[in-house]
Amino acid sequence: MKKTWKLLPQIFGDQFKITEREAIKILQENIYRPSYNWKHGIDKTAGIMWRDEYIKELFKLVLIDEDILVKKVGRKKVQKELFWRSHVFKDFVIIGGLNYKRSNSGYLAFKNDYAKWKQLKIFKPSWKKGKITHNKILKRIRAANKKIDAPQAAESKLRSAGLEYTKKLLESGEYEKIKDMQGNISLRKIPK
């Protein structure tokens, strides 16, 4: 037997004496209304509003709008721009059934919600990767190379100082190069 909304009053009809319309109204008011679990679920899970595909797509557009605004205003000011001026965000708020006061307290509520929404698994891959610019990659490579090059540079300095010292000794005429049986070269003072 296929389950439909019409079964609801039949299930509870005798017990609570409700009609089909009353049952649907009760469901709309208690399950599908904006409430504490409308925006956020328990333990960083998605709230009820995220079941709607249209709301998900609108939020993806908000994330795209954020990327566009970052280039214009910078990473620090992007959330303010989204909240106060973005038409895409305003559409998302209206369609999502959200209510933010146009004040600083409303902005703070938005910031908290927005951070949680971006952490949802359905959106995380799109923003977490981000775009790594060429300059950022070069910066990372240079930093890694400095860590590697520092000991090498110190060793190279010592080696060049040693070679310079050896060269001075040979030029003075007091020392000569000799080879041992293993093929190692060393210095020996020339007997007088």
Q: What is the pLDDT of residue 9?
A: 59
The mean pLDDT value for 96-104 works out to: 83
| DSSP letter (8 states) at residue 190 | P
Per-residue pLDDT of 56-98, as tens digits, reads 888 888 888 888 888 888 888 888 888 898 888 888 888 887 8
pLDDT interval class at 20 (50, 70, 90): confident
CA distances to 95, 134, 186 from 192, in Å: 101, 65, 19
Give the domain ranges of the chain.
Answer: 49-128, 134-189
CA distance 79 to 38: 22
pTM: 0.48
| Residue 19, φ and ψ in degrees, nearest 5 | -95, 175
Question: Higher confidence at residue 35 or residue 115?
Answer: 115
Question: In this structure, are residues 107 and 77 in contact, taking their beta carbons and an 8 Å threshold?
Answer: no
Question: In this structure, are residues 20 and 6 in contact, taking their beta carbons and an 8 Å threshold?
Answer: yes
pLDDT higher than 60, residue 176: yes
138-142, 158-162, 166-170, 171-175: least confidently modelled range: 138-142
Mean pLDDT of the chain: 76
